[in-house]
Homo-oligomer: A and B are copies of this chain.
Amino acid sequence: MEEEQLHALLRDLDALKQRPDDLGSIDRDMSAEVVDSNPYSRLMALQRMGVVENYERIRDYSVAIVGIGGVGSVAAEMLTRCGIGRLLLYDYDTVELANMNRLFFRPEQVGMTKTDAAVQTLSGINPDVVLESYSLNITTVKGFETFLASLKARSSHERSTGVDLVLSCVDNYEARMVVNQACNELGQTWMESGVSEDAVSGHIQLLVPGETACFACAPPLVVASGVDERTLKREGVCAASLPTTMGVVAGLLVQNALKYLLNFGQVSPYLGYNSLKDYFPTMEMRPNPQCSNPACVERQKEYMDCKPARDAAAKAKMEAEASEANECPVHLDNEWNISVVDDEETATSNVRSTPDILPEGLVRELPAADLYPEPPATTSSSALDDDLEELQRQLDALNSS
């Protein structure tokens, strides 16, 4: 067995020797040149096609991924291949053969920490990405301190933390509550993901402290009831998992992250995936004014206090854009629908309608979603309020019993 792997390694080595010389000359700039040796040509094409205004901006972004398991490792690989600027990876676990039914890790990495194994693979895939490996448990006091400090490092005048987005890819509620605490404290936008214990459904969710519900605003019953979830696990019993479900959830999560960072399409507040019926529920959750998390309540207050200023800014921006559009007509022969944008323009809107004009010979795979009725929102605002009140009642009953 080991001999076979050695042969494979030698074959790899031969392949390395035959590697084209131009590999070493990858530019720090993302080239849009359409040649086989350009790893970014297919990504820069998004810009030429009018999907993304400025793809290269991805180099400026830092993303933290908490939990480098079946979802987190694939999310990290996707962002690495997309050319993200910096990735911070957090996990306390080591690679086991029992992880081989999900994508990413390889049998020869068994025994390595998941973060080190990830850095090994990812740096080989794209040496342009800055990778930071944190092999620690964020649910311990020391781990939490390091987690917070690493998020805050490299903060700039544009943001309070050093990262643009946190992706939670953990497999338990305790860790989710810790990510929630950190992000509420820092006012850090994050996205949460999860896959069910029976491996056939999952979800992603956007959490903006003060603006959307936080993870404690409407906690799962196992969290609300205060039961230690570890006591629910039994000897000889494990959760099921599938590379398909986890690959889909990772893909939906990173797609949402790209839409958020690069400002295209609609960022989904919540998207579920029921694989047995290929059903994808969506909903929105507003913050709970009675949330048990003090930092969340503080962010909610800040958000409400800033509402008038925010509304005025949005109105001013809309008016400026409208007058700009009147002043600068797009050239009639501009078939790619490219328009000059101000470098200083800040991304404030997550919704952008991409132009419907495609170059000659290209057809869209699907009709525009506008042509279809939207799937019904699963929770209306008033229903949500009722749910929250109901949950609060259940919680009070539990606490008083």
Contact = CB atoms under 8 A, between A and B. Distances in A.
A264 B265 CA distance: 34
Contacts of A238: 34, 41-42, 45
A36 B96 contact: yes
A209 interface: no
Interface string A249-281: 011101110110000111010011111111111
When all copies of this chain in the complex are counted, the total is: 2
Given A103-B81, A243-B78, A248-B248, A98 B198 contact: no
Given A39-B97, A243-B82, A369 B255 contact: no
Contacts of A5: 16, 124
B120 A11 contact: yes
Interface residues on A, range: 35 or more
Contacts of A216: none
Contacts of A2: 16-17, 19, 24
A255 B275 contact: yes
A362 interface: yes
A100 B39 contact: yes
A75 to B, nearest CB: 9
A86 interface: no
A377 to B, nearest CB: 10
B38 A98 contact: yes
Contact of A251 (B127, B194, B245): B245
16 contacts: A18-B111, A20-B111, A23-B97, A36-B98, A37-B98, A41-B238, A46-B198, A51-B200, A81-B101, A197-B358, A200-B265, A200-B354, A246-B251, A259-B276, A264-B276, A274-B369
